[in-house]
Structure 1
Amino acid sequence: MSSEKFDSQKAPEPVGAYPHARKVGNLLFLSGVGPRERGTKVIPGVELDENGEILSYDIEKQCHSVFNNVRAIVEDSGSSWDKIVDVTVFLTNMKADFKTYNRIYAEYFADNQPCRTTVEIKSLPTPIGIELKVIATI
């Protein structure tokens, strides 16, 4: 089965050798998407020290940013928000951030409720608190 790669001009550039998304059949698989802003290393709600270590972060700002980045990739790839069928969420601090993330998630997915898995991990490749892995239909 053939596949096609997609890269959004609205979402932040990947931090490695991978596309934003890949279409296989009528499914769209997104690579992990974080809250960074395109063209910069700015992470909404994150304050770093001179060594790049996190001084403080606002998970609410990160959630809104990551959901907007996912939407940009999904739409630029020919799908839409309502066609998201599965979401895997990676949080670096489940105890502190889950309640806020869960509330914001419910706002974004009020009409379309995809399957969801949320896991806590020790860290992500950049100083972020949340990353999403998404599957949608096209």
Structure 2
Amino acid sequence: MKKVLQTNAAPAAIGPYSQGIEADHYVFVSGQLPLNPATGVMPEGIEAQTAQSLENVQAVLQAAGADLKNVIKTNVFLTDINDFAIVNSVYATFFKENPPARSAVQVVALPKGANIEIEVIAIQE
């Protein structure tokens, strides 16, 4: 059974997709841009953008009754791979113990001119 996740605590989808999907014991969170859900404004700089993207991920997970500790895989998309060390330092504050498997890749561009987008897969406990 598939359940569409929607929360006002994360930015609304900017296309024909869901913020997340809950299926069986999994939660799939669509790529989260660093948009503040209340204002629609994107913070400046990769450090603040990384934190905002992860806060948005966390909000969608919470809509499914999950949390960051449930995440088993992340995909990080960066417009500049040279930001990797900064992203790692912020990412480590969100995943303090038993971090999930992860991929990080450089892409040519992201929607809305973002520098980062993060998607995750989590399990329900």
Q: Give the TM-score taking structure 2 as reference length.
A: 0.94
Greater helix share, 1 or 2?
Answer: 2
Amino acid at match of 1:131: E
Amino acid at match of 2:96: A
**Secondary structure, aligned partner of 2:72:** strand
Q: Following superposition of structure 1 onto structure 2, how do residues 99-110 of structure 1 map, counting pairs within 5 Å?
A: 99-110=85-96
Identity %: 31
Q: Are the counterparts in 2 of residues 63 and 130 from structure 1 also a CA contact under 8 Å?
A: yes
**Secondary structure, aligned partner of 2:69:** helix
Alignment partner for residue 136 of structure 1, among 113, 117, 122? 122
For 1:7 and 1:112, the matched residues in 2 are separated by 27
Query: Structure 1, residues 80-131: CA drift from partner, whole Å, max 9, x if none?
Result: 1100100000000012x11100111112111131000000000012110000
Q: CA RMSD in A?
A: 1.0
Structure 1, unpaired ranges of 5+: 46-57
How many residues are treated as equivalent by the alignment?
124
Q: Give the TM-score taking structure 1 as reference length.
A: 0.86
Structure 2, unpaired ranges of 5+: none
Q: Following superposition of structure 1 onto structure 2, how do residues 1-138 of structure 1 map, counting pairs within 5 Å?
A: 2-45=1-44, 58-95=45-82, 97-138=83-124
For 2:107 and 2:35, the matched residues in 1 are separated by 18
